[in-house]
Chain A
Amino acid sequence: MIHRSETLLSGLIRIDLLRRIVRLVKPIRSAELRRACSAESRREASHFVDCLQVRILFFFFLFTVEIFTQPGNSNLFSAGNRLKFGNYLFSQNDYLRAAEEYRAYLKVESDDTARFKLAESLLRIDRFTEAADHFKGVFFSRGLGDYARLEFYKALFLGGGYVRFRQTVNQENYMPDKFSTEVKRLGMISYFFDNSVLPDSSEMFHYFDDSVKIRIRKFYLMKKFPAYKNPLKAAILSAVIPGAGKIYTGEIGDGITAFAATGLLAFLAVDNFKAGHNFRGWLFGGLAAFFYAGNIYGSAASAQIYNAGIKFDFNREVKLYFEKRNYFLPSIDFLK
Chain B
Amino acid sequence: MLNFDYKIFFIFFLILFSKLLSQNQLKLQLDYANNLYNSGQYFDAITEYKRLQFFDSSKIFIYQSDYQIGLCYKAGGHFDNAVKYFSLAEMNSKTYQQKFDSKIQIIRTNILRRTTDRALQLLDSLDNSSYFETKKDTINYWRGWTYIFADDWKTAALFFDKIDAQHPLKKLCIKVENSKYSVTFAKVISYILPGAGQIYTGHLLSGFLSLGWNLLAGYWTINSFAANRIFDGFTAGTLVWLRFYRGNVQNAENFARERNIDISNKALHYLQTQYEGIKP
Contacts and interface: CB of A to CB of B under 8 A. Distances in A.
Partners in one complex: yes
Interface of A: 1-2, 7, 10, 21, 24-25, 28, 37, 49, 52-53, 56, 59-60, 63, 66-67, 70-73, 76, 81, 84-85, 88-89, 94, 97, 100
Nearest to A56: B7
> Interface size class for chain B?
20 to 34
B54 A1 contact: yes
B134 interface: no
B22 A28 contact: no
B81 to A, nearest CB: 11
Nearest to B60: A72
Interface of B: 1, 3-5, 7-8, 10-11, 14-15, 18, 21-23, 25-26, 29, 46-47, 50-51, 53-57, 59
A73 B14 contact: no
Nearest to B18: A67
Given A60-B14, A89-B50, A72 B8 contact: no
26 contacts: A1-B55, A1-B59, A2-B54, A2-B57, A10-B57, A21-B11, A49-B4, A52-B4, A52-B7, A56-B7, A56-B10, A56-B11, A60-B11, A60-B14, A63-B18, A66-B18, A67-B18, A70-B18, A72-B23, A72-B25, A72-B56, A76-B25, A76-B29, A85-B55, A89-B50, A94-B50
A3 to B, nearest CB: 10
Nearest to B46: A97
Contacts of B53: 1
B57 A73 contact: no
Contacts, number: 68
A60 B8 CA distance: 11
B129 to A, nearest CB: 30
5 cross-chain pairs, A with B, having the tightest CB-CB distances, nearest first: A72-B22, A67-B18, A1-B54, A73-B22, A2-B57
> SS class of chain A's interface: helix, strand, loop or mixed?
helix
A200 B39 CA distance: 61
B21 A67 contact: yes
Contacts of B54: 1-2, 84-85, 88
Contacts of B47: 97, 100
A59 B11 CA distance: 8
B8 A97 contact: no
B8 A73 contact: no
Contacts of B23: 72
B55 A72 contact: yes
Given A60-B14, A63-B14, A81 B50 contact: no
Given A24-B8, A56-B7, 9 more contacts: A2-B55, A25-B8, A56-B10, A66-B18, A70-B18, A70-B22, A72-B26, A81-B55, A100-B47
A70 B55 CA distance: 9
A89 B1 CA distance: 53
Contacts of A94: 50
Specify which of B5, B7, B10 lies most central, judged by the most chain A CB atoms within 10 Å of its CB.
B7
Contacts of A84: 54
